[in-house]
Chains A and B, each alone.
Chain A
Amino acid sequence: MTKAKNPIGKRSARGYAFYAVLSILVLLLPVIVASGYYMRVINTILLYSIIAISLNLVGGYGGLLAMGHACYVGIGAYTTAIVSVSFGWTFIPSFLLSVFLATLYGFITGSICLGRIKGDYLMIATMGVSEITRIFFLNAVPITGGPMGMPQVPPARIFSFTFRTSQQYYYLFLFLLLFTIYIIHRIVVTKFGRSVIAIRDDETAAKAMGIKTTWTKIITFTISTMFAGMAGALLAHYTRFVGPMQFNLDEGLLYFQMIIIGGLGSIGGSILGAAILVLIPEFFREIYRYRMIVIGLVMVLMMIIRPQGLLGNVGEGHVIVRFSNSFKAGVRNLFAGIRNLFKAKRTRQ
C-alpha cells in the first residue's frame, strides 16, 4: 500500500517560497496591522477557525449533522470564567480543566446522541443538548450568574506573563489554531480518520468491513468537542465576559454554516468560511439597518454560485492551482445559476 498522499501537494521550489512568504506574513501580521480593531477582527476569525476546523472533523469528514457545538464552547468558557473569577486560577490549569470538562461532556452527550439517532434526527438531538445546556447556564444563577453572565473574567496569565493586547492574544490563538490544524490533519490521514470518512460514505459498508461505527463516531465527536472547549476557554479570557446568549442555537448553526460555505471536509475551507462569516457582518457595520438582509443575501447567493462550498471538491494539485480552479468553477456556476433562475422550469430531478 502506498503512503497516504500529502494533501498539500508535491512541493516545488516555488511552493517552498510561497509557504515561506506566507509564514512570515502570518507571523508579522500584528506588526503590519497596527489598528486594535482589525486585530480584534482577526483574532475572532482565528477563534472561529478553531471551532470550525474541529466541527469539520464531525460534520465534514464524519458527515454527522452536529448543530449543537455552541454548548461545548460554552462549557469551556464557563469553566474558565468560574475557576479564574472565583478561585483565581491562572491560564494553564484553568485551560486544562476547561478542555477536560468540555471533552467529558462531549463524550457523555455524544454517547447519548450517537448511539441510535441518525441523520436529521441527530441534528435536533444535538440542538436539544445545546439548548438544555444553555437553559442550565441561564437558570443556575449561583454557579453561572444566570442571565447576567460572568463579567470581569481576568485576562489570560501564564506564569508571570499577562496577555493584555490583541497582538499578544494573536500569537496565543495562532499557536492553538496551528495545533488544531495539525492534530485534525493527522487524524484524517490515519486509519482512524479513514474509517471516519468510510462511515460517512457508507455506514453499512463500513460496518461490514469491521469498523466499529458507533464507537468511531463517538470518539470523533469527543475529539471535536475537545477543541470546541479549547476555543471556549480562549473566548472567555479574550472577551472577558461569558453569558448564556453567546451559546444559543444560532451560534451552533453559524459554525455549521462556516464549514458548509468553506467546503465540507476541507481544513482551509473551514478557515475561509469562518473568515467570511466574521468579515461580512463587520464589513456591513456602517449600514447596520440592512445588515441582516445583506448577510442573508450573500449566503443564499454563495450557495447558488458554489453549492459545494468555496474550497470543497476542487480536485488535486497545488494550492494556488486548486484555488484558481475553484474560482473559475465558481464563476461558471454563477452564470449557470443565473441561467437556471430564468429557465428553471426545465430543471430535472
Chain B
Amino acid sequence: MEYFFTQLINGLAIGSIYALLSVGYSVIYSILKLINFAHGDLCMVGVFICLTIITLTGNVFLALIATCLFGALAGLLVERLAYRPVRNVNRAAPFVSAVGTAMIMRGIAQLFWGSKMMPFPHILPTRMFHFGEVSISGMSISILIFASLIMVIVSVFVQKTRIGLSIRCVSQNISASYLMGIPVNNVIAFVYAFGAAVGVLGEVFFATYYSSVFIGMGFMGTVKAFTASLLGGLGNLYGAFLGGIILGIVEALGSGFISSGYRDAIAYAVLILVLIIKPSGIFGMKSSEKV
C-alpha cells in the first residue's frame, strides 16, 4: 500500500509534466486541427539551451526565463516559416511539414550538443519526505506544485483575459472570428509561442526528473503530449490536463505493479481501450457528423 502511494505521487508528478507538454498541443489542435509533430523536438532544443545557460552562469532562474523566451521565439518562427504557408491547403501537407520541422530541430540539437545523453542538474530540491511508511521525493512534490501553478495560470489566462477570449473564439469558429475583426493570424502565432513556452518548461522538468537530456526526448515528448491530449479529448484544455495526469498515473502504476519493460505498452493499451469505449476521448465532446 505504501508502494502504491509512492507510485501514485510519482505518477502525478510525471503526469503533470505531460499535462504541461500537451497544453500547446491541444490548443493548436482545437484551432487548426493540426497535429504538431515538432512540438516535443522544439522543446527538446529548449532544454539543451537551458542546460547551456545553467552551466555557463549557474543561475537557474535566468535559465528558465531565457528558455521560455527561446520557446516562444522558436514557436513564432516555426509557425511563420513552416506552418502558415501550408495551413489552408489540405490535411496532409502540414503533417509532413511538421515532421520536417521536427527533423530540423533534431539536426540542430545534434549539431550543437552532439547525440550523446547529457546529465541535467537537479534544479529542484531532492530531499526525501517521509509520511509514515510512504516516502516521497521533494522533486515529485515540487514538480507537482510548479506544474499545477502553471496550469492554473494558463486556465485563468484563457478564461479571463482578452487574448484568452480571442483564442477561444478562434478555436470555435475561425471564419466567424475573422468577420468579428479578431486578428486570427496573430492569435494563432501567439498560441504557438505560448504553447512552446509552456511545453519547454514541461520538458525542463522532465529532464530534471530523469536528470538527463537527450535528443530522443523530443519525439517522446511529442508522442506523450499527443497521447495525453487524445486521452482527455482533443481540443479541450482541461481534457489535456487530465489526460496528462491519467497517463502519468497509468504509466507509474503499470511499471510499478506489472512490468517496467512494458510501461509504454500498458499506457498505449489503456489508451486504445479508452478510445474503443469512448472514441472522442474522456472529455471530448461528441461532434455530430454533418451530411
Contacts and interface: CB of A to CB of B under 8 A. Distances in A.
A and B: interacting chains: yes
Interface in B84-106: 84-90, 92-97, 99-106
A292 B106 contact: yes
A290 B107 contact: yes
A128 B103 contact: no
B96 A257 contact: yes
B101 A124 contact: no
Contact of B291 (A125, A139, A204, A291): A204
B280 interface: yes
Given A120-B35, A135-B261, A204-B291, A292 B96 contact: no
A132 B93 contact: no
A300 B97 contact: yes
B265 A303 contact: no
A291 B265 CA distance: 32
Contacts of B178: 348-349
Contact of A131 (B86, B89, B265): B265
Contacts of A129: 268, 272
A228 B100 CA distance: 24
A347 B87 contact: yes
B234 interface: yes
A304 B101 CA distance: 13
Contacts of B269: 128, 132
Nearest to A203: B289
B276 A131 contact: no
Interface string A174-190: 00000000000000000
A20 interface: no
Interface stretch (B44-52, B137-145, B156-164, B222-230): B222-230
Given A124-B227, A204-B291, A302 B268 contact: no
B96 A341 contact: no
- Count chain A CB atoms within 10 A of each CB in B29, B94, B103, B184 and give the residue with the most: B103
A128 B268 contact: yes
Contacts of A309: 92
A132 B265 contact: yes
- Count chain A CB atoms within 10 A of each CB in B33, B104, B106, B234 and give the residue with the most: B104
Contact of B89 (A204, A307, A344): A307
A121 B272 CA distance: 9
Interface in B250-282: 259, 261-262, 264-265, 268-269, 271-272, 275-276, 279-281
A113 interface: yes
Given A139-B259, A250-B219, A293-B104, 16 more contacts: A116-B275, A120-B230, A121-B280, A124-B230, A132-B269, A249-B223, A260-B96, A294-B107, A296-B101, A296-B106, A297-B104, A300-B97, A300-B100, A307-B93, A308-B89, A349-B175
26 contacts: A117-B272, A117-B279, A121-B230, A123-B35, A124-B227, A124-B230, A125-B271, A125-B272, A131-B265, A135-B262, A138-B261, A205-B291, A249-B219, A250-B219, A292-B106, A293-B108, A295-B100, A296-B107, A299-B97, A303-B100, A304-B85, A307-B90, A307-B93, A308-B90, A341-B81, A348-B178
Interface of A: 112-113, 115-118, 120-121, 123-125, 127-129, 131-132, 135-136, 138-139, 203-205, 249-250, 253, 256-257, 260-261, 264, 289-300, 302-304, 307-309, 337, 340-341, 344-345, 347-349
